[in-house]
Amino acid sequence: MRVLLTGAAGFLGSHLAERLLKEGCEVIGVDNLSTGQRRNLDRLVAYPGFRFLQVDVARPLEVEGPLDWVLHFASPASPPRYLKLPIPTLLVNAEGTRHLLDLALKKGARFFLASTSEVYGDPLVHPQPESYWGNVNPVGPRAVYDEGKRYAEALVTAYHAHFGLPVRIVRIFNTYGPHMDPEDGRVVTNFITQALKGEPLTVYGDGSQTRSFCYVDDLVEGIVRLMEVDYAGPVNLGNPEEYTVLELARLVKEITHSPSEIVFKPLPQDDPKQRRPDISLAKRLLGWEPRVPVREGLLRTITYFREVVAQGFA
């Protein structure tokens, strides 16, 4: 297959690109490097089937030759990053999605949208099934990401209904693993980096809010399986094993043998109190569920971060 993948220099995009390249696909990786990392491309350029384009998909994109898939994984994804880049975040999910849908139509390609559990906002239903419409503040600080992704889902669904474009939508819950940016501000990277440096682990609120953490290899497996089925509706992919943020902080301290203390700071506005996927659909449709336990995934991630911190990247 010949695949165009946006966000190829990002954490998840680079893992997906490598999986597709190993399976013999030709991958045209696209990224404007606003939040992606060049070092994530280093392991991809060794594959003869990889080509990189540094462009902003919020503008129309032209690609020579045929395409089988357009995979849209470009967007700032951590709150500190999208709060610093509010307009680009909205544009990559709105205009970027539109331009890439038009490209897929032109090429006769299938389209895949990386959406997010953030479309559920601060959920009033727990765990969250795909049928839940969410509880999102449309004018809150997180709206640039939450509403951007909700709009992208609506646009993809409209192209499918109006033009018959084959589409897939994945709602991704918290994912972690090697090649995350140590400074992206997400809870796993924060805790690991702080623990390895001997700095206080920062917990926002009282730490009772919950998250569900899925190891990146499990997530990529689910994405590849979704590419292989004909289903246009959104599909949750994530780990239904639920942790409080305080439990995660203590687990990272234990695994890293860090002397760091845990400190508490005020909870950011609209921070979800709980987040856990209902993956019944993924189990039924894809025969998928996570395989890597959180402790094992954290061990692998911490091993990678030890090298990154030692090299001065964080």
Residue positions annotated with a catalytic role: 145
Residue 243 has φ and ψ, to the nearest 5°, of: -125, 145
Give the separation between CA 293 and CA 227, rounded to whole angstroms.
24
Q: Which of 57, 54, 47 is nearest to 27 (CA)?
A: 47
CA separation (Å) from 160 to 155, 222, 231? 9, 22, 11
3-state secondary structure 133-185: CCECCCCCCCHHHHHHHHHHHHHHHHHHHHHCCCEEEEEECCEECCCCCCCCC
